[in-house]
Structures are given as C-alpha cells and as structure tokens.
C-alpha cells in the first residue's frame, strides 16, 4: 500500500469546535511510501440537516423525510481544478496542504438525535485515475450562540404547583401537594440550577422514588409535525413517608447540551423542560416547566424576590440565606464538553472501505466552570404569575 497516512487536522482547535463566522482552518496530511499517480487532492465541506422517521400502518409503513443544506463547498489543494485534468505523479514522503473556509453567520448549531440531526464535516479525497479514490473524513461542531441576555424572561424565577387527591379502593386516601421552584429560567451548560421542592404528603401512601429530570423535546417539521422526547435524570430522592412533609433545597449542574431553539434550522426545533415526578400509589404528581439552555450566560441576573411560603413549613431565618447567582462568566468558555446524550455513526451512503477517519461522532458544546462556591438553596417563594412557565 503506497498510502501510509491520510488525515485532516484543524489549526488551533484540535477539538474541532467553531462558532458561526469563524474560519475553519487546517491542513490535510498525506504520507506516501512511494510516488502515487493522482489527479487531485481536494477537500469537501458539507453541512446538512436531515430528519427521518416512519409510521407503520399494519403491514405497510410511510417514510417521512426532510433535508436542508447549509454548506456545500469543495477546495482543490493539489492538481488541476477540472475533472478532466490529467494525472500527475505525486512524490513520496510526508506532505501538508492547508485549507480554510469561512462559516456563514446564520448556520444552525450542531445537533445529533435519533430521528434527525444537523451535522458538519469535511472530507479529503485523493482522486486516482482508474482506481478507487482514497478518502478521509472528519466532523466538526458549529455553535450558533444563544445569548440569554437577549431573552428577558431568562432571569426570572420559575414556579410550579400541583395537588392531587389519592383514591383508594372505594374512598379517598388523602392528597399530595407539590411545589417546584427554580432560581431562574435560563441556564448554560455547567451552571448550577438552584431548585427547591416542597412535598406535603397528606395521603396514606409513601411517595417512593421522587425524581427531577431534564426533558429535551425535539419537534421535527416535514409534511407533518412530529415530536420526540428524551429525558435525563438529574436527581433521585428517597421516599417521603405518608402524612409527612419535606423540603429539598439543592443545586444541580446543567450538562453539556445543544442550545434551545436551534436557530437557523427549518426542520428541527429543540426545547427543554424540568420535569418533577412524585410517585404515589399507582399514580404520580408531575410538574413540568420550560427552561432555556443558552451558550452565553446572563451577565447580571435579577435577584429572586422574597415572599412567604405557600402551604409549606418555613425555613429557620430565611432572610439570612438569600439566593445567590453564579459569578459573571469569563470569555472564552474554559472548556467544551461532549453532548450528554452522546453522538452517532456518521458514515453515509458515500463512504466505503476506502474511507478512513471518523466514524463515530459526538458534538461538543461550551461548558462553563463556575467557582467552588456552592449556591445556597432557593428560598420558598410565590412566583410572579407572568413568569409561571
């Protein structure tokens, strides 16, 4: 085999994470044991959105598909630019060919889901006459920033309340009242989300397996709207015994996730919510409230207003523990983390046994690291009705 090594490297960004408007710069590295005849060495950039799912009708099924193209560009690095260019003998040894392409300002952020994705990659090709072409492939992440400061309600607290009567075999067995409070609506990955959960279990049953989950809702728009959800358990609590009350005030870090909305994509929309589930007997009490995941945190978050608790025991000296926000962020983000939901196999119908490079790919997103000061628990409070979302 004449080809010993063939790969793509990015300059100054080995992780392969770029923001809209950035220039993707790098080099194609080739190492030949012997001279090789070829027409060109070229690199192809592609950015595309794609969704696919099927609906079964008895023994038949209907496929739903949608596609969008964001980048479709080829750069010739060696040889003639025309397809009919004659072959030349490329010398043996190690060689590097640099490239650069500017990302447009309206591209959507990278996203990988089971039934749809927004994916960016580059693919270098050695065009060989009368032989199979050699290819190497590398994906990269594109970030379109979502600035939480541009969303006025991101700084306001979120509140939810539910009450459920519990039925036994032939009579009422009491009720369960639940409240959920979040310190605000907008977060970035790595930021602590401060929450307070109040549970008044006035029933004859214990509430076992209370859990707080982060729900990602993906709306895919083709000929019809289809919604898919996936959940990530943030916190799992022990049981609340019957005829007992409990208050849980803690914080949990937001994991690495693509931003809400997925601006710039016309076929995929992403939303997030916090889902609190309190199981009781054969049913459960649930509170779901929307939150926003951004890429640029709030510069100055509004402090939570203080107001009395509603139907829950008060804390000792609540005024001594006002809610605290994380300190302002420092640009650039200190790290990028792989998406908590994982990635996908990026081989497509154009890849064969002569295609090397990446086959598994997980996009990475900005992940902010706050200082070691743990925010205190949120104080029980009644919500401003306008921001009950």
Q: Residue 220 domain-assigned? A: yes
Number of folded domains that form the chain: 2
Q: Could you identify the residue written with the tokens 């490297």?
A: 9
Closest alpha carbon to 276 in 354, 137, 162, 120: 162
Q: Which residue has the tokens 């997103």?
A: 365
Do residues 280 and 174 both lie within one domain? yes
Could you tell me the two tokens for 347?
Answer: 């081989």
Task: Please report whether residue 372 resides in a domain.
Answer: no
Tell me which residue has tokens 């916190």: 235
- Residue 53 and residue 172 in one domain: no
**Within a domain: residue 305?**
yes
Based on the fold, state whether residues 27 and 165 are members of the same structural domain.
Answer: no
Q: Is residue 34 part of a domain?
A: yes
Closest-CA residue to 111 (of 269, 256, 293, 258) = 258
pLDDT at 120: 97
* pLDDT, tens digit (0-9, with 9 covering 90-100), for 59-99: 777 777 889 999 999 999 998 766 666 888 999 999 999 99
DSSP-derived secondary structure for 80-139: -SSTTPPPEEEPSEEEEEEEEEEPPTTPPPPEE-SSEEEEEEEEEEEE-TTSPPEEEEEE
Better-scored residue on pLDDT, 173 or 8: 8
Q: What is the pLDDT of residue 309?
A: 37
Does a cis peptide bond (omega within 30 degrees of 0) precede residue 332? Answer: yes
For residue 373, being part of any structural domain is answered with no
Q: Could you give the percent of the chain with pLDDT greater than 90?
A: 58
Do 65 and 184 share a domain, yes or no? no
Say how far apart CA 180 and CA 7 lie, in whole Å. Answer: 51
User: Are 74 and 174 contained in the same domain?
Assistant: no
**Domain-embedded: residue 239:** yes
Do 227 and 260 reside in the same domain of the chain? yes
The pLDDT of residue 334 is: 63
Q: Summarize the confidence of residues 146-157 as an average pLDDT.
A: 94
Could you report the per-residue pLDDT of 286-339, keeping only the tens digit for each? 999 999 999 999 986 444 443 333 333 333 333 334 444 444 444 445 689 999
Q: Is the confidence at residue 235, as pLDDT, over 70?
A: yes
| Strands, E assignment, 144-224 | 158-167, 172-182, 186-187, 192-203, 211-221
Q: What is the pLDDT of residues 247-258, one digit of tens each?
A: 999 999 999 999
Residues 106 and 152 reside in one and the same domain? no
Q: Which residue has the tokens 């969008």?
A: 68
Distance CA(180)–CA(68), nearest Å, equals 39
Is 374 a domain residue? no
CA separation for the pair 252, 233 (Å, rounded): 11
- Residue corresponding to tokens 């190690």: 94
Q: Which of 322, 286, 304, 293 is nearest to 180 (CA)?
A: 286
Question: Two tokens at 75?
Answer: 């750069």
CA 286 to chain CA mean position, Å: 24
Helix (H) or strand (E) segment spanning residue 147: none
Query: In the numeric block, which tokens belong to residue 98?
Result: 């640099």
253 and 205 in one domain? yes
Here the tokens at position 38 are 């070829």
Is residue 176 within 8 A of residue 207, CB to CB? The reply is yes
Residue showing tokens 């598909």: 65
Residues 118, 200: one domain? no
Q: Are residues 301 and 190 in the same domain?
A: yes
Let me know whether 122 and 271 are in one domain.
no
Cβ-based neighbour number of residue 384 at 10 Å = 12
Question: What tens digit of pLDDT does each residue of 195-221 get?
Answer: 999 999 999 899 999 999 999 999 988
The rounded distance, in Å, linking the Cα atoms of 274 and 234 is 9
Q: What is the pLDDT of residues 110-132, one digit of tens each?
A: 999 988 999 999 999 998 888 88
- Structural domain of 33: 3-144+335-367
Same domain flag for 50 and 196: no
Residue 271: count other Cβ atoms within 10 Å of its Cβ: 18
Q: Is the pLDDT of residue 369 over 70?
A: yes
- Give me the pLDDT at residue 81, please: 67
- Find, among 115, 40, 105, the residue nearest to 78 by Cα: 40
What CATH code is carried by the domain that includes residue 274? 2.60.40.640
Task: Report yes or no on 375 lying in a domain.
Answer: no
Q: What is the mean pLDDT of residues 237-243?
A: 87
């Amino acid at each position: 085999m004449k080809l010993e090594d063939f790969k793509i490297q990015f300059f100054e960004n080995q992780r392969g994470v770029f923001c809209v408007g950035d220039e993707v710069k790098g080099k194609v590295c080739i190492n030949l044991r012997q001279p090789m005849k070829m027409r060109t060495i070229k690199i192809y950039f592609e950015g595309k959105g794609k969704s696919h799912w099927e609906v079964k009708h008895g023994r038949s099924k209907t496929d739903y598909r949608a596609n969008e193209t964001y980048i479709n560009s080829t750069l010739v690095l060696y040889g003639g630019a025309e397809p009919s260019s004659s072959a030349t003998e490329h010398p043996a040894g190690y060689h590097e060919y640099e490239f650069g392409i500017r990302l447009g300002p309206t591209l959507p952020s990278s996203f990988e889901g089971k039934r749809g994705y927004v994916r960016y990659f580059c693919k270098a090709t050695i065009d060989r006459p009368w032989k199979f072409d050699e290819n190497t492939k590398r994906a990269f992440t594109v970030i379109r920033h979502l600035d939480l400061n541009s969303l006025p309600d991101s700084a306001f607290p979120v509140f939810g309340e539910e009450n459920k009567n519990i039925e036994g075999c032939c009579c009422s067995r009491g009720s369960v009242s639940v409240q959920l409070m979040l310190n605000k609506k907008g977060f970035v990955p790595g930021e602590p989300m401060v929450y307070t959960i109040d549970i008044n279990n006035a029933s004859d049953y214990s509430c076992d397996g209370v859990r707080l989950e982060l729900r990602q809702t993906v709306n895919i728009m083709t000929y019809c709207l289809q919604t898919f959800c996936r959940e990530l358990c943030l916190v799992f609590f022990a049981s609340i015994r019957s005829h007992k009350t409990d208050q849980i005030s803690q914080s949990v870090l937001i994991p690495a996730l693509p931003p809400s909305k997925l601006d710039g994509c016309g076929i995929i929309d992403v939303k997030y919510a916090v889902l609190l589930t309190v199981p009781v007997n054969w049913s459960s009490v649930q509170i779901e409230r929307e939150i926003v995941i951004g890429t640029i945190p709030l510069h100055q978050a509004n402090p939570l207003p203080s107001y009395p608790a509603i139907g829950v025991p008060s804390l000792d000296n609540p005024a001594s523990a006002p809610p605290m926000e994380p300190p302002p962020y420092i640009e650039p983000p200190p790290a990028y983390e792989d998406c908590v939901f994982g990635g996908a196999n990026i081989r497509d119908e154009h890849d064969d046994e002569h295609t090397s490079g990446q086959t598994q790919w997980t996009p990475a997103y900005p992940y902010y690291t706050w200082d070691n000061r743990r925010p205190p628990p949120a104080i029980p409070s009644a919500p401003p009705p306008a921001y009950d979302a």
